[in-house]
């Protein structure tokens, strides 16, 4: 087992990779054989190359008691038993997680448009629950909420194209129907036949587009602080557009993200701000333009009424991007349930995960399809 003194230190890297390795000289001689690390570590080798230029799409590594979870988070398990601890590894046979482990399975699926980063949690035999993040975000935005959902669901998260650890091509379309098509392809590759789909902010519009394309796949929809129409927009997310430099500075990122939360004293974690920095200016502007285009064509309540799917709308009452009073527009959808969360803003999944999980779980479990 690698002790705390000799083990390498973990820290955040503000470029394409969220961490870097330090003090390799002492650590590498004591590490056990490790599983393959894409872009740097190869199967059963003890020597880690210096990560001067970390890979753009890293995958998790397991070793004595540590595991890199989805989103670049390392956790230490008691006892640190390495490869025998039931931790997930990224082996030559593909990413996997041993049965009984409470860890995230992270993988990358290659689609025609580019690689898509996928996270899975919970029993694969449980009903599927798909979580779709909003613009300038990633699967990491759900990290605090996921542990509350896995007892009832097989939770699937993806980084939409252009975000997080997914590819960011300059020659592909970022229109919401295109994002929805890719999302459906990911679920097909995972063998998911039915899923309740949850979207935060513009992710709710992607979820709606997915239900339009694949009504057989989507059993119910939950939207979290998703504006029903452009009339509901309060603070356009255009503060990052036209920046003189890219990637943006910390101050620019803070300013850009300032309207994302409203709870007193809450500060967006630096690693989530780094997810914005991971994007290119092209992908940021194109994905935000795509949401506007989709809402201009038709409002979400009109789209959802035509779909006839069970609908839950959760809205932080103090949202500074979309008027929370606009949540009432969704009541035009037959059978829709609307829940307002006082004291929370645009991102209740970050600001208060337990309060967000309560109405969400009540809805998702009632509409779940087992064997999905």
Q: Are residues 145 and 269 located together in one domain of the fold?
A: yes
For residues 279 and 346, give the distance between their C-alpha atoms in angstroms, rounded to a whole number: 21
For residues 136 and 279, give the distance between their C-alpha atoms in angstroms, rounded to a whole number: 8
What does the DSSP 8-state code read for residue 8? P
What does the DSSP 8-state code read for residue 348? H
Q: Are residues 178 and 320 located together in one domain of the fold?
A: yes
Point out the domain boundary residue: 62, 97, 132.
Answer: 97
In a domain, 185, yes or no: yes
**pLDDT value at residue 243:** 53
Please provide the size of the chain in residues. 372
In a domain, 372, yes or no: no
- Name 66's bridge partners: 63, 76
Q: Are residues 283 and 316 located together in one domain of the fold?
A: yes
For residues 141 and 155, give the distance between their C-alpha atoms in angstroms, rounded to a whole number: 14
Point out the domain boundary residue: 97, 116, 143.
Answer: 97
Q: How many domains does the chain have?
A: 2
> Along the 372 residues of the chain, how does pLDDT read in single tens digits?
333 332 222 322 222 233 323 333 333 333 333 332 323 322 222 323 333 333 333 333 333 333 333 433 333 323 333 332 222 333 333 443 433 345 899 999 999 999 999 999 999 999 999 999 999 999 999 999 999 999 999 999 999 999 999 999 999 999 999 999 999 999 999 999 999 999 999 999 999 999 999 999 999 999 999 999 999 998 554 444 445 567 888 888 888 888 999 988 888 888 888 888 889 999 999 999 999 999 999 999 999 999 999 999 999 999 999 999 999 999 999 999 999 999 999 999 999 999 999 999 999 999 998 755
In a domain, 252, yes or no: yes
Q: Are residues 89 and 207 located together in one domain of the fold?
A: no
**pLDDT value at residue 225:** 98
For residues 120 and 124, give the distance between their C-alpha atoms in angstroms, rounded to a whole number: 9
For residues 20 and 52, give the distance between their C-alpha atoms in angstroms, rounded to a whole number: 8
Q: Are residues 92 and 109 located together in one domain of the fold?
A: no
Q: Are residues 21 and 145 located together in one domain of the fold?
A: no
Q: Are residues 8 and 52 located together in one domain of the fold?
A: yes
For residues 204 and 148, give the distance between their C-alpha atoms in angstroms, rounded to a whole number: 20
In a domain, 237, yes or no: yes
In a domain, 196, yes or no: yes
Point out the domain boundary residue: 54, 74, 97.
Answer: 97
Q: Where are the alpha helices (DSSP H) in 92-217?
A: 176-190, 202-213
**pLDDT value at residue 110:** 97
- Only one residue has tokens 């650890």, namely 165
Q: Are 349 and 145 in contact (CB under 8 A)?
A: yes
Could you tell me the residue range of the domain that residue 132 belongs to?
A: 105-366
CATH of the domain at 140: 3.40.50.1820
In a domain, 278, yes or no: yes
What are the DSSP E strand ranges found in the chain?
10-11, 20-21, 62-63, 66-69, 73-76, 89-91, 94-96, 105-111, 114-121, 128-132, 154-158, 195-200, 218-224, 311-316, 337-341
Q: Are residues 168 and 184 located together in one domain of the fold?
A: yes
For residues 79 and 27, give the distance between their C-alpha atoms in angstroms, rounded to a whole number: 18
Q: Are residues 48 and 81 located together in one domain of the fold?
A: yes
In a domain, 80, yes or no: yes
Q: Are residues 23 and 63 located together in one domain of the fold?
A: yes
In a domain, 371, yes or no: no
Which are the contacts of 132, defined by CB distance < 8 A and separation ≥ 6? 158, 160, 183, 197, 198, 199, 200, 203, 204, 206, 207, 210
Angle of helix 202-213 relative to helix 281-297, nearest 10 degrees, comes to: 60
**pLDDT value at residue 102:** 59
Q: Are residues 259 and 122 located together in one domain of the fold?
A: yes
219 φ, ψ (degrees, to nearest 5): -90, -30
Q: Are residues 259 and 326 located together in one domain of the fold?
A: yes
């Amino acid at each position: 087992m690698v002790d705390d003194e000799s083990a390498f230190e973990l820290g955040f890297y503000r470029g394409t990779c969220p961490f870097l390795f330090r003090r390799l000289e002492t650590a590498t001689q004591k590490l056990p054989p490790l599983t393959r690390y894409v872009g740097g570590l190869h199967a059963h080798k003890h020597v880690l190359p210096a990560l001067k230029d970390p890979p753009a799409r890293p995958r998790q590594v397991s070793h004595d008691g540590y595991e890199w979870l989805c989103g670049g988070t390392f956790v230490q398990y008691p006892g640190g038993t390495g490869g025998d601890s039931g931790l997930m590894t990224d082996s030559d046979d593909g990413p996997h997680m041993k049965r009984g482990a409470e860890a995230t399975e992270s993988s990358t699926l290659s689609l025609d448009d580019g690689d898509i980063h996928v996270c899975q949690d919970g029993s694969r035999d449980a009903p599927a629950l798909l979580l779709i993040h909003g613009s300038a975000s990633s699967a990491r935005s759900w990290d605090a909420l996921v542990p509350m959902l896995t007892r009832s669901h097989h939770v699937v998260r993806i980084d939409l194209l252009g975000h997080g650890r997914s590819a960011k091509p300059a020659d592909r379309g970022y229109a919401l129907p295109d994002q929805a098509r890719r999302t459906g392809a990911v679920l097909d590759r995972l063998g998911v036949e039915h899923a309740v789909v949850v979207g935060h902010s513009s992710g709710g519009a992607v979820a709606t587009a997915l239900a339009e394309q694949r009504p057989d796949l989507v059993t119910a929809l939950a939207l979290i602080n998703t504006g029903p129409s452009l009339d509901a927009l309060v603070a356009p997310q255009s503060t990052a557009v036209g920046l003189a430099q890219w990637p943006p500075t910390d101050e620019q990122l803070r300013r850009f993200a300032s309207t994302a939360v409203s709870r007193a004293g809450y500060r967006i974690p630096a690693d989530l701000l780094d997810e914005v920095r991971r994007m290119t200016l092209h992908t940021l502007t194109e994905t935000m333009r795509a949401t506007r285009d989709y809402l201009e064509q038709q409002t979400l309540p009109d789209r959802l009424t035509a779909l006839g799917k069970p609908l839950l709308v959760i809205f932080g009452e103090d949202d500074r991007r979309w008027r929370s009073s606009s949540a009432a527009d969704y009541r035009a959808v037959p059978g829709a349930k609307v829940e307002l969360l006082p004291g929370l803003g645009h991102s209740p999944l970050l600001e208060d995960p337990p309060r967000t999980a309560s109405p969400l779980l009540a809805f998702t479990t009632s509409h779940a399809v087992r064997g999905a």
